[in-house]
Structure 1
Amino acid sequence: MTIDKKNMEGPTFNSICKNLLEALGTSNRLKDVHNICRLGESPEFMFRALWKLKEFHNCLNVKLIPPSKSEKEARMNIARGREMLNDKQYYDALTYINRGLMKAPSPPYCILENRNGKGTNNLEKNISENSALVNGYRDRSAVLYSLQQYKKCISDIDTADILGCSNGDKDSLLNRKSECIRHIDEEKEEKLNPTISEKSCDIIVKQAVDQIDSLNQQMNSIKSSNGDLPIQKTIELLLQGTNKVFNSFPDIPQTFVSSKYILVNEENEFELCDPNLKIPSLSAAVNIEYTPEKGRFVVAARDIRPGEPVHLEKCFIGLPDMEQRETCCCVCLTQCYTPIPCSNCDIVVFCSESCQKVDQIHKIECDMLPTCLALGMDEHAMQTCRILIKLTFVELKNIVPILKQETKRETRSKQGFNSDGYYDSKEYRTVYHLENNINERKSMELFCKCVRAFLLLNILKESKKFFVEKSGEILIPSNEDFILTGSTILNHLLALPLNTYALYGCQIDINASVGEANDENIAMGVFGGASLFNHSCNPATSRSNYGDVLVMYAKCFIPSGSEVSTTYGDTYNVDIKEERISRLLMDYKFECTCEACINNWPLASDMKIDIKLKNLEPCYRKLLENNFVEKIIEHCTETKKSYLVDDDKVKMLLLEDIMTNTIEFLDKCIELPSRHYLLAQKVLTQCFEKSASSYNFRV
């Protein structure tokens, strides 16, 4: 198999499969292959049987394409970025300059890792070779200065200096650095000596928090013996609390809102306060149950309130979305506007020097990525490659035979738990035992998965970096080593499409007066703990992520004993029933039986605006008479728009609490589906998204 290295053009995956099928037809092996795939006994059975066929070896051999850079493309993109900078189109300027930095030929990372002048002598001989790189960091520092990102600006100035900028550029860069230092010192001084308006703002914040605490105390104090609030009193308290809270907002001084551009929310620390003792990625508020029909699923061990976190997990392995790879860190999956490009390839970036230093995966996969892309490897094949690199061949050879025995010995409900009875998603065991639905696959689908497994195995072999000893010494794999590795690859290729979660960033248009926000797919990750949640088109939870950490929150009141569900991508309010059923059957091999599907709930756009109550006692009628629901949600929706734009964390705190109380109340007294209920959930979930992996654009 030959590929044009210059243009990275070669056989597509479909043409590879076609050529292989023709070769199998010529040798009268098609029926044998069909029977092997039709039986689908196990990944090992299929791979071992196909490994014996010479046609697979002849048609699926691979020659690696080396990573490359392009000075010409780098200069073009950086020049375009400079034009955008002159037009004050800062987001576009960053996009083009970052792309240029990725394309620019670069010295080894070891030369750049110390920003104190070390390594400069090594570069002096080849300053001309770094000109595109120098221009990129020089121009990006100008963009960052305009965006008031002074520390990041200084970092780029220092990098340009180390790479060898011209004397003319050096003078202007030193002046810019001096200005950055002055601004940073002024910010420190402001923090030490807050203004009168900032002090008054602190008082307002405390008052608002006290109002919420008072509201919650009142609601808790009058709960009846069965745990339910009297309806009339609930209405009065929520209206009273909402009006008090929102009347505080106009008094908040404008200086409380920072004038600095906030490109990416970097305050992303989060912990699960009360983890499950046996499954640390889940909350103690939930348990795992099993039935043959549903498999494993999550249930509430007690009543769970809206907004309560039920799951938190760092992904076992992650992969930036191909359309976001210019700004998504390949290590922590954080969205970044000042990425550090790989010094060897033009495919991945790092968000910081610390991520670049701790990277243990890309330094091995780097030589394989151009070939994977040229052969049309999908994201699940790329993830599989990363899983094996993280595991290492030595560990794979030790642990996979043990895990295969567990598959035969343990019931499905116990697979993934270690010998101490813990389901620890940090362990490879939980990833290996993910459901793969092999018995539900058609023979042609299994054939294509086997072809990908062969190609990926050959890429690993040709890289000379996977089949190595712990010392790094290259070893010569046996046939059994290849079969063990290939069947493990195949197992992951079958399981990952069913168990990979998309990671989103809340993309906020800060120029829009209405506070527009959209979820943007940034990356994907494998989460052994999250895979325990089943799907519903009316999910009980909402997801947000902090880089490579996934968090699930309850977005409704979940009674004890009820299932705690998530969504695999389709929800009743935006996707019609027929399309949901079709996609779930095709991708996950099951038909959803949630209440939204059984009762054929309408899309949000087709819902009536009236509210149906669960009963019509006099206290419930107040909901309709006083437009209680409409008032609460209207207040919260308008405040959410303002919060998204000005980053006012006081509003977020108040919004979360008010919407938590409102949604919990609505769950108990109105019938679903309800357009107002969906709006309330949207306000709550966007608060979570904004405080997680959010970033601004069109700056």
Structure 2
Amino acid sequence: MSIDSCYESVIAKLTADNRIKEISQKLLSFTQNDERVLYVYGILGSLDAFPDLISVSKSEDVSLHYRLLGNQHYGRKENYTALQYYNLSLLYAPIGSVCYSVALSNRSAVFLSLRKYDECLKDVEKVFKCEFPANLNNKLIKRKETCLNNLVNKNEQNGHKENPEIKKILSLEGPKDPRYVCASAKLEVVYNEKMGRHVVAKEDIKVGEVLVEEEPYLVILLSSQYLVCCNYCLSRSMNLLPCHKCCYVLYCSEACRENAWKEYHKIECSLMPMLLHMEFTKLEWLALRTVIKARNEHKNWTDLFKTIEEAENSNLEYKGHVKVNDKWVYDSKNYVSIHTLSSNIDKRSISDIFQKSVTAAVFLDMLFKYTNFLDSEDIDVKVKAKQCVAGNLLHHIMTVPINMHGIESTKQSANGNYVDEINIASGAYAYHSLLNHSCSPNVVRINKLGSTLMSLIALRPIKKGMQIFDNYGSHHALQDYVTRQRSLKFQYKFTCCCEACVDRWPLYFQMDSGLNLPLKVIKKKKELLSSDVIEKLQRGDINTAIKLYKPLCELAESLEPYAPCTELADCQETLKQCLQIFTGLVPYDLSISVEWGAKPPTQYQLKA
């Protein structure tokens, strides 16, 4: 049963009992989130609507099933598909068992086939530390010798160094704000009644300048990426390690495995089959994980109560800040910066609040029945903890959709072009959440592939005093005015008044060329954006991207007075394409996910 079908079943029962109006009026009378969730929690309990726990354990049979599937694909030289099946085999294998070592051994064979000698060597060394079948010994020794012979120099063994030109392009230069520690000192956070908290430029900013470098409070990896990414730091390291207990998450290192366990996975681990089977969205799951981490980074419940109370009662000037060495600091690593993000509850319909309260109540039931998360020897603290978690769950289920940010990359299509987007994760970035929306943004967000770091780069020239505008997904070149307004109103609860909306800027394919463009600008545009150049960029040619980047930034500056026009739109899109190449591209084979589910297959025999 999915969370959506759970909600629909509850609505059907309440409708049949003619209780919708009564419940709506009751919800409207509440002023606190914990009251709303606990009321709905009682309703779900009376309807026997809470889902039962799903239990999935390590299994040698399931591990064997996936390993045999991996063997099939390895035999067909479908190495990346085989790799994912061997990772599934590793996940289901009891730690330290023979099938665990065989899964590692088979994965090392894939690495050898891919000429990834360092990765192969690491897995071989791990197998030697495990119990493994004697008939593997000679194969592993030979595999190790092959790797050592091919790792001819230190650079090859340790990987290629980052390109210094790209590193410079993607680095924030100059001083950072001492208060908003991830942001350039060229930016300033201000407040007014109409715009709320928002960010403006303290100095003129040129196209291409890096303005923010922010690590998140936490991230949540999409299930489609579970078999190729570290579930904690998003590393694309191939020598992934499984959780000791559950059959779902992989980590790039012991450190990431331990950090995840400490911060949230100890509580989340036994719930993984249920969370996946019920198809909670990444945003709902991110809210749950935030609540768990917030408690785990405090010594006890009382300390968390105090943090929340102080955060909610802080003055506007220092909203979301903590004091560090007698100085106020706003930083995503501190929970208060996430807790104080807007929920827009005053703009939400009663049906929206009820639906989100159902999700919060289901999460609360999971935590209460199936984990020790709410345990306390003090009965009064335990009662207050349940109230706190109920309210906090609903609060973050409302804050996450309007504040959190997706982490994407560009993947290769079957014909070899890098033109399609791939969603990887979502994260809680407090500073980025302060940026308001425009359908014609002057900045773009980027993430380096395999990293949680989010950077903000100027896409248009920004004058001193101008506001920094992000894009929430509704762009004037891709969506018409009515569609954008409807989408923004539905999710973010505001009416957009950006220049593209006020002046009704056209869609890209209805856009005209710039009027009276100087000849030198036209010439530069034709030179930089020739079909040959575009084709090279679509193929992911990094040298072309490096060569083109700075001239494109200069061209964007020259074209700004003529916005909106096709020349500027093409220039901006090509700039973004260069940035995507710099931050990393996903090869076609690694963009295809194998089929797997929350529940393991019931039949372990391969079909003929």
TM-score tier, shorter chain, comes to 0.7 to 0.9
Q: Which residue of 2 aligns with 1:187?
A: 153
Contact map agreement 1:64 1:462 (CA 8 A) in 2: no
Q: Which residue of 2 aligns with 1:139?
A: 106
Q: Distance in 2 between matches of 1:654 and 1:268?
A: 12
Q: How big is the shift at 1:316? A: 0.4
Q: Which residue of 2 aligns with 1:246?
A: none
In the alignment, structure 1 residue 106 sits paired with structure 2 residue 69: no
Query: Structure 1 residues 93 and 54, CA, compared in 2 at 3 Å: closer, same or farther?
Result: closer
In the alignment, structure 1 residue 310 sits paired with structure 2 residue 211: yes
Residue in structure 1 matching 2:429, options 498, 516, 527: 527
Please give the per-residue CA displacement for 1:258-313, whole angstroms capped at 9, x wherever unaligned.
xxxxxxx9999966642112211221111112221221111111111111111111
Query: Structure 1 residues 190 and 464, CA, compared in 2 at 3 Å: closer, same or farther?
Result: closer
Instruction: Name structure 1 gaps, 5 residues minimum.
Output: 1-9, 112-122, 193-204, 210-264, 615-619
Q: Which residue of 2 aligns with 1:18?
A: 9
Please give the per-residue CA displacement for 1:330-388, whole angstroms capped at 9, x wherever unaligned.
21123344432223222221123332233322233101222223444332332122222
SS in 2 for 1:698: helix
TM-score with structure 1 setting the length: 0.75
Q: Which range moves more in the overlay, 308-317 or 576-585?
A: 576-585
Residue in structure 2 matching 1:46, options 36, 39, 42: 36
Contact map agreement 1:43 1:491 (CA 8 A) in 2: yes
Q: Which residue of 2 aligns with 1:379?
A: 282
**Amino acid of the structure 1 residue aligned with 2:84:** T
Q: Which residue of 1 aligns with 2:138?
A: 171
SS in 2 for 1:287: strand
Contact map agreement 2:311 2:340 (CA 8 A) in 1: no
Contact map agreement 2:375 2:382 (CA 8 A) in 1: no
**Amino acid of the structure 2 residue aligned with 1:611:** G
**Amino acid of the structure 1 residue aligned with 2:530:** E
**Amino acid of the structure 2 residue aligned with 1:330:** N
Q: Distance in 2 between matches of 1:48 and 1:401?
A: 21
Q: Distance in 2 between matches of 1:331 and 1:418?
A: 25
**Amino acid of the structure 1 residue aligned with 2:66:** N
Q: How big is the shift at 1:154? A: 0.9
Query: Structure 1 residues 273 and 157, CA, compared in 2 at 3 Å: closer, same or farther?
Result: farther
Q: Distance in 2 between matches of 1:590 and 1:13?
A: 26
Contact map agreement 1:17 1:448 (CA 8 A) in 2: no
Q: Which has the larger radius of gyration?
A: 1
Q: How big is the shift at 1:69? A: 3.8
Residue in structure 2 matching 1:443, options 340, 344, 350: 350
Query: Structure 1 residues 517 and 144, CA, compared in 2 at 3 Å: closer, same or farther?
Result: farther
Please give the per-residue CA displacement for 1:589-631, whole angstroms capped at 9, x wherever unaligned.
11211122222222223334x33247xxxxx34444xx33211
In the alignment, structure 1 residue 663 sits paired with structure 2 residue 566: no
Q: Which residue of 2 aligns with 1:502?
A: 406
Residue in structure 1 matching 2:312, options 407, 414, 428: 407
Q: Which residue of 2 aligns with 1:257?
A: none
Q: Distance in 2 between matches of 1:267 and 1:169?
A: 47
**Amino acid of the structure 1 residue aligned with 2:64:** R
SS in 2 for 1:182: helix
Contact map agreement 1:584 1:591 (CA 8 A) in 2: yes
Residue in structure 2 matching 1:297, options 198, 218, 229: 198
Q: How big is the shift at 1:553? A: 0.6
Query: Structure 1 residues 95 and 481, CA, compared in 2 at 3 Å: closer, same or farther?
Result: closer
**Amino acid of the structure 1 residue aligned with 2:208:** G
Instruction: Name structure 2 gaps, 5 residues minimum.
Output: 591-608
Task: Trace 1:8-407 onto structure 2 (pairs within 5 A).
Answer: 10=1, 12-16=3-7, 18-19=9-10, 22=13, 26=17, 30-39=20-29, 41-47=31-37, 53=42, 56=45, 59=48, 61=50, 63-102=52-91, 104-107=92-95, 127=98, 130=99, 133-184=100-151, 186-188=152-154, 273-359=174-260, 360=262, 361-392=264-295, 394-404=299-309, 406-407=311-312
Contact map agreement 1:281 1:313 (CA 8 A) in 2: yes
In the alignment, structure 1 residue 600 sits paired with structure 2 residue 471: no
Please give the per-residue CA displacement for 1:129-170, whole angstroms capped at 9, x wherever unaligned.
x2xx34432222122112221111011222333443333322
Residue in structure 2 matching 1:577, options 481, 484, 492: 481
SS in 1 for 2:244: coil
**Amino acid of the structure 2 residue aligned with 1:100:** S
TM-score with structure 2 setting the length: 0.85
Q: Which range moves more in the overlay, 489-498 or 92-101?
A: 92-101
Q: Distance in 1 between matches of 2:581 and 2:315?
A: 42
Q: Distance in 1 between matches of 2:586 and 2:484?
A: 30
Q: How big is the shift at 1:15? A: 3.2
Percent pairwise identity:
23
Contact map agreement 2:374 2:385 (CA 8 A) in 1: no
Q: Which residue of 2 aligns with 1:199?
A: none
Q: How many residues align?
A: 577
Contact map agreement 1:545 1:692 (CA 8 A) in 2: yes
**Amino acid of the structure 1 residue aligned with 2:93:** P
Contact map agreement 2:172 2:212 (CA 8 A) in 1: no
Q: Distance in 2 between matches of 1:24 and 1:486?
A: 25
Q: Distance in 2 between matches of 1:266 and 1:101?
A: 35
Q: Distance in 1 between matches of 2:171 and 2:520?
A: 39
Q: Distance in 2 between matches of 1:85 and 1:160?
A: 19
Contact map agreement 2:118 2:157 (CA 8 A) in 1: no
